Structure 1
Amino acid sequence: MKEVVAVIRMNMMNVTKQALTEAGVDAFFAQEAQGRGKGLINSALLTGAKQGYEEAAEMLGEKGRLYAKRVVTVVVPDEDVEDVVQAIMAVNRTGKPGDGKVFVLPMADAVRVRTAEKGEKAIQ
């Protein structure tokens, strides 16, 4: 089993839900989050702003702000990981900064609380 965590734009949630459904994923989690990528931020300005230099903070402007995102988490069998990642990427890729990231992590185990099923039975 693997955990697939995708950070996507807020406005891409509906198409991502549809893509996951078409990829055979019926259950997933979604959370609102804030963050930013490395973008085109000048690291010297960022360091200066952290040290309290007002002019550096002003020069950063909007580039230092956090942006609203969605974090979508799904746990899938190993053989489904590539299909799920490709489905997420296909609908979220615009070619512009801010398209997001997809992380794939190992999942040691899962237990369905209602039935006590373990492993892949718990996620199917």
Structure 2
Amino acid sequence: MKEVMAVIRANKIGDTKQALVNEGFPAFNAVKVLGRGRQAIEAEVIDALNQHPDDANEVLPLLARCPRLIPKRLVSVVVPDEQVRQVVNTITRVNQTGNPGDGKIFVVPVTDSIRIRTAESGNVAVDEMTGVL
């Protein structure tokens, strides 16, 4: 089992949720987070670039560095090993603009999973179709 964690643009969360559901991954968590990558810039500039991402390659090199944290979304999906590539591809497809700030995806091992309601563990506990009445 693996956890796929993706830090994405705040304005991409709706499209990401819908794409994950459409691909058969309706169970995930998403939280509002603040963060920054290598390029720290003003929040107003980020908002403008989110609205017009094609301008990013021209604007970003001209900006001075500053320590501001940018609003992002952290999406977490726990899936069996064989489904990791599909989740990663789905998140990448929806969020890739080719501009700085598209985000990062991290894949980390999960040693176990327990469904509290039934005490099932392992892959069965993250399988959405198991235990459905």
Q: TM class, shorter-chain normalised? A: 0.7 to 0.9
Gaps of 5+ in 2: 42-62, 128-133
Equivalent residues, number: 106
SS of alignment partner, residue 102 of structure 2: coil
Is the 2:34–2:71 Cα contact (8 Å) retained in structure 1? yes
Match of 1:120 among 116, 120, 123: 123
Deviation readout 1:15-42 (Å, 9 max, x if unpaired): 000111122101000010000001278x
Deviation readout 1:36-82 (Å, 9 max, x if unpaired): 001278xxxxxxxxxxxxxxxxxx86632100000000000111000
Q: What is the TM-score of this pair, normalised by structure 1?
A: 0.81
The corresponding residue for 2:67 is 64
1:37 aligns with 2:37: yes
Which segments of structure 1 move beyond 4 Å, counting only runs of 4 or more? Answer: none
Alignment map for 1:1-124 (pairs within 5 Å)? 1-39=1-39, 63-124=66-127
Cα distance in 1 for residues equivalent to 2:65 and 2:29? 30
SS of alignment partner, residue 71 of structure 2: strand
SS of alignment partner, residue 11 of structure 2: helix
Q: What is the TM-score of this pair, normalised by structure 2?
A: 0.75
Counterparts in 2 of 1:11 and 1:65: CA distance versus 1, 3 Å? same
User: Identity, % of aligned pairs?
Assistant: 55
RMSD: 1.7
Structure 1 counterpart of 2:71, one-letter code: A
Gaps of 5+ in 1: 42-59
